[in-house]
Amino acid sequence: MRNLTMNSLLIAAPLFMVLMVPGAARAGTGPVIKDCPVEPAQGVAITSGETYYGTNCSLSTTGDADTFTFNAAAGDVWEMVAGLGPSPTTQVCLTLYSPGVPANQIFNACTCNGCFGGSASVSTNQTLTTAGLYTIKISETNDGVQAYGLSLERLSPTPPDAVALTLAKNVTGDVSAPTSQNTFTFNGGTTGTYEIAVSLAPNPTSQVCMNAYQPNGTSALSGGTPLCTCNGCFGGSSSFQADLTPSLAGTYVVDIYAGGNDTTVDYNLEVSCLLGNCPPAKPSCLLTDSPSYDASTGILTMDFSVGTPVAATWNGFLEIKNKIESVFSQSLPVTEPATKVTQTKSGVGVTGDVGILSTITTPGGGITCSSFVTVNTGTP
């Protein structure tokens, strides 16, 4: 896991490229690059897969702080990267605040361009413990006109902008703005070993780097200290390969970025099954339930994780003693990645163990996912 990135500056001032893509990032669309709004503007919304980089993304004084906001659920893992634009005159700082007032700072770090072993970017991976609206502040250390880039990526649950990979099929891509992260997914099984390989396209403008994350958002790669995951770390190779034997089954995220996070790069990426049995496709859907019961109110709370790659119907039933009753039935749109949904049932008495059955169904596939758990309501 990259916490505070302090890679050596790998290339001269980056190209000031701006790709304008309207709208929010959606499932499998890849990254979205957009310019900052014209100032004054605070609390600018940013979502997973978005990078702000353009002519309006600029600071002029130490009091000129730009803020961006995003919503997160408790337990989410997010990555954020801030970096300098071309011809830097000062340093930029990335500060993260948790929801609520007064301000509660949970991360702060600055670039150190020109320092020995320093970097023109700063990044952090954060496991967020509180649900709500988080704020990112971008500021500078000295007065001066300074361009910057900011990107945000959710690593767990699976980012909505990630593009699904097919085993043994090469894909080409480009990191088209400094600090931008390109994310991909593949279904990892514990019965196989996977090779993840990334290489430079002809006429590279930077090194290309990658990381891989387990379904819980922790780094899936291991190596030396510090861990180098770029093509030029060892002997100047034009590619980087890593072998991965998953300890957790599920959706793995591959994160591709330019060396130093301060430039652009074109690349090739491929994930192959090296050894053993590698599931060829992701699971068709996901349905889990973590119920709880409050005897004082008679309310049964069911905390679900629900995901489906196709439109479906979601049903829930209660089994109390020898009777089964329907609790809910609702349509589900395509839900990728899986999302957390809470259902409640009032008027549940103290009746011992209660069974909760939930299913996802489609007209052609019948029951595609199911979950059955029990919760103890106490002794009658």
Final residue belonging to a domain, choices 276, 308, 340: 276
255 and 344: one domain?
Answer: no
CB-neighbour burial class of residue 172 (10 A; exposed 0-12, middle 13-18, buried 19+) = exposed
In a domain, 69, yes or no: yes
In a domain, 6, yes or no: no
In a domain, 17, yes or no: no
Sites in the chain below the pLDDT cut of 50: 1-27, 224-226
Q: What is the per-residue pLDDT for 282?
A: 57
Q: Which residues fall within 8 angstroms of residue 205, CB to CB, at 6 or more apart?
A: 11, 14, 15, 258, 263, 264, 265, 266
Q: What is the per-residue pLDDT for 70?
A: 93
CATH classification at residue 147: 2.60.120.380
> Which long-range contacts (C-beta less than 8 Å, at least 24 apart) are formed by 203-206?
204/238, 204/265, 204/266, 205/11, 205/14, 205/15, 205/258, 205/263, 205/264, 205/265, 205/266, 206/10, 206/11, 206/258, 206/259, 206/260, 206/263, 206/264, 206/265
190 and 43: one domain?
Answer: yes
248 and 315: one domain?
Answer: no
**Residue owning tokens 């309501």:** 377
218 and 239: one domain?
Answer: yes
Q: Which amino acid is at 151?
A: S
In a domain, 26, yes or no: no
Domain hosting 200: range is: 32-276
Final residue belonging to a domain, choices 236, 251, 276: 276
**Phi, then psi, of 260 in degrees rounded to 5:** 80, -10
In a domain, 27, yes or no: no
Final residue belonging to a domain, choices 276, 299, 325: 276
- How far is the first Cα of the chain from the last one, in angstroms, to the nearest whole number? 49
**Phi, then psi, of 285 in degrees rounded to 5:** -165, 175
In a domain, 257, yes or no: yes
222 and 365: one domain?
Answer: no
306 and 335: one domain?
Answer: yes
194 and 223: one domain?
Answer: yes
265 and 293: one domain?
Answer: no
221 and 298: one domain?
Answer: no
369 and 324: one domain?
Answer: yes
In a domain, 255, yes or no: yes
The number of folded domains in the chain is 2
Q: What is the per-residue pLDDT for 235?
A: 60
In a domain, 8, yes or no: no
303 and 237: one domain?
Answer: no
Whole-prediction pTM: 0.69
163 and 252: one domain?
Answer: yes
CATH classification at residue 336: 2.60.40.10
